[in-house]
Amino acid sequence: MAADQPTVLLVEDEPAQREVLSYNLEADGFRVLTASNGEEALLIVEESPPDIIVLDWMMPNVSGIEVCRRLKTRSETRAIPIIMLSARSEEVDLVRGLETGADDYMVKPYSVVELLARVRAQLRRTRPSTVGERLEYLDIVLDAETHRVTRADQPLKLGPTEFRLLSTFMEKPGRVWSRDQLLDRVWGRDIYVDTRTVDVHIGRLRKALCHYGGDDPLRTVRGAGYALG
């Protein structure tokens, strides 16, 4: 499984619906985590934060709307986009869902094809490299679809790991990424890699970025990690 595969957390208490959506999401290139209730969903988000959440409103005990509220009030999870699914079609319900923090709202029954399109639309905003978007920072251009990178119109030779590192940095210039966060995002949680490996690949990325001269756009934040710009 590719480490840069976008991860979707699917929270749905109906097994048949959960299975259908999981199958279609995986077939469309997503890594899928599933939860059958709100408590399980909150635990998964704490242990393995996904890139996006597809969340059913009507669930026993902790409802989808309450899960959404809790996640959107925490700084660590506020930026994760949430698509709410509900049989509630009244305007007041739509407004309530969006005011609670949901980024999108779909009424059941819905088109699976449309849901996949909306998932990709949200990821285009939050993780553009995973859906083939072109990223630019100063004179650096990263084409996620062709896996090509140029700086000042000169092609750069990057290995797969360095490419994923640069994609991560370019999606959120200025953000400081810790070594552990980079391990999760670039290598994936299923693979054991020592944090010192991050430093090795950062060094290779820096060398490639400065191959034709120019300033090093990456900065080391002492005791915290690395950032672009």
Q: Is 178 exposed, middle or buried (0-12, 13-18, 19+ CB in 10 A)?
A: middle
Residues 6+ apart with CB under 8 A from 200: none
Is residue 52 scored above 90 in pLDDT?
yes
Q: d(Cα 161, Cα 168) in Å, to the nearest integer?
A: 11
**Number of helices and strands in the chain (H, E):** 8, 11
pLDDT of residue 187: 81
pLDDT of residue 35: 95
pLDDT of residue 112: 93
Q: Which tens digit of pLDDT belongs to each residue from 6-18? A: 899 999 999 999 9
| 3-state class (DSSP) for residue 191 | coil
Is residue 191 scored above 70 in pLDDT?
no
Q: What is the DSSP letter of 13?
A: S
Of the candidates 127, 202, 192, which has an alpha carbon nearest to the alpha carbon of residue 159?
A: 202
Least confident range of 82-86, 106-110, 190-194: 190-194
130/76: higher pLDDT? 76
Confidence of residue 88 (pLDDT cuts 50, 70, 90): confident
Q: Which amino acid type is present at position 123?
A: L
Q: Which tens digit of pLDDT belongs to each residue from 196-211? A: 899 999 999 999 999 9
Task: Determine the straight-line distance between the first and last CA of the chain, rounded to whole angstroms.
Answer: 30
97/198: higher pLDDT? 198
pLDDT of residue 1: 42
Of the candidates 22, 179, 50, 190, which has an alpha carbon nearest to the alpha carbon of residue 112?
A: 22
| 3-state class (DSSP) for residue 129 | helix
187/113: higher pLDDT? 113
Question: What does the block give as tokens for 143?
Answer: 């084409």
Q: d(Cα 204, Cα 158) in Å, to the nearest integer?
A: 8
Neighbours of 200 (CB within 10 A): 11
Confidence of residue 194 (pLDDT cuts 50, 70, 90): confident
Cβ pair 127, 5 in contact under 8 A: no
Mean pLDDT of 153-176: 92
Mean pLDDT of 88-102: 80
Please indicate, yes or no, whether the overall pTM of this predicted structure exceeds 0.75. Answer: no
Mean of the per-residue pLDDT values of the chain: 89
Mean pLDDT of 74-98: 85
DSSP strand pairing (52-56 vs 82-86): parallel
